[in-house]
Chain A
Amino acid sequence: AQSVTQLDSHVSVSEGTPVLLRCNYSSSYSPSLFWYVQHPNKGLQLLLKYTSAATLVKGINGFEAEFKKSETSFHLTKPSAHMSDAAEYFCVVSRPLGANAGKSTFGDGTTLTVKP
């Protein structure tokens, strides 16, 4: 079984300030973890992924996330927010191996607002 909880449904930051989007997961195996971004009326864009290699994962557009097994967390951060970062962000846990490999569970999403 697997589940994911995004701790904040809305996050609002000022342009140029740091971004922190929190995600906790639960799984009965070593999971793969992903962050996706979705702009209004658009599809999903992969920001970054963790697949049991380095625990600090760097993604596109300056985002990064750190896998902390002891805290079952995979929080997304960015040092300095841009207006274009305003979007919906999804944390996703996926089973990497076995018969159900690839079956993904999405968090409820966090809406990021960036104020000028």
Chain B
Amino acid sequence: GAVVSQHPSRVICKSGTSVKIECRSLDFQATTMFWYRQFPKQSLMLMATSNEGSKATYEQGVEKDKFLINHASLTLSTLTVTSAHPEDSSFYICSARAGNEQYFGPGTRLTVT
């Protein structure tokens, strides 16, 4: 089956710094990737839709200048959390679309101290 990877799996950073999370489709090309955020003991909330070669589409309430998304190739999308604060600590999960199927990455746990 299709595999999606995320790197890093865990990251701890200091408040005010920026963190980049990578999402890769390993054995297929994904014109569309999605980024989700999951707070402790809560469900996943869609943050944005990332389309290769164009600007991401953000969901209502998600700050596009804080969560920078780049989808530079058909196998890679990146999410950069800029000027991270403790309230950004969360589990970030990406998914990649292949045809009518969607495959989720294993997630990245971000802790901002």
Interface positions of A (Cβ within 8 A of B): 32, 36, 41-44, 46, 51, 90, 94, 96-97, 100-109
Contact = CB atoms under 8 A, between A and B. Distances in A.
A31 B104 CA distance: 18
Nearest to B109: A41
A47 to B, nearest CB: 12
Contact of B97 (A101, A105, A106): A101
Interface residues of B, number: 19
B95 A43 contact: no
Interface in B96-112: 97, 100, 102, 104-107, 109
Interface of B: 32, 34, 36, 42-46, 49, 93, 95, 97, 100, 102, 104-107, 109
B2 to A, nearest CB: 11
A76 B46 CA distance: 23
B34 A103 contact: yes
Contact of B104 (A32, A43, A51): A43
The binding surface of chain B is classed by DSSP as strand
B106 A43 contact: yes
B92 to A, nearest CB: 11
11 contacts: A42-B106, A43-B93, A44-B44, A96-B100, A102-B32, A102-B95, A102-B102, A105-B46, A106-B36, A108-B42, A108-B43
Question: A-B pairs with the 6 shortest C-beta distances?
Answer: A43-B106, A102-B97, A43-B107, A106-B44, A106-B43, A102-B102
Given A41-B109, A44-B93, A103 B104 contact: no
A107 B25 CA distance: 25
B38 to A, nearest CB: 9
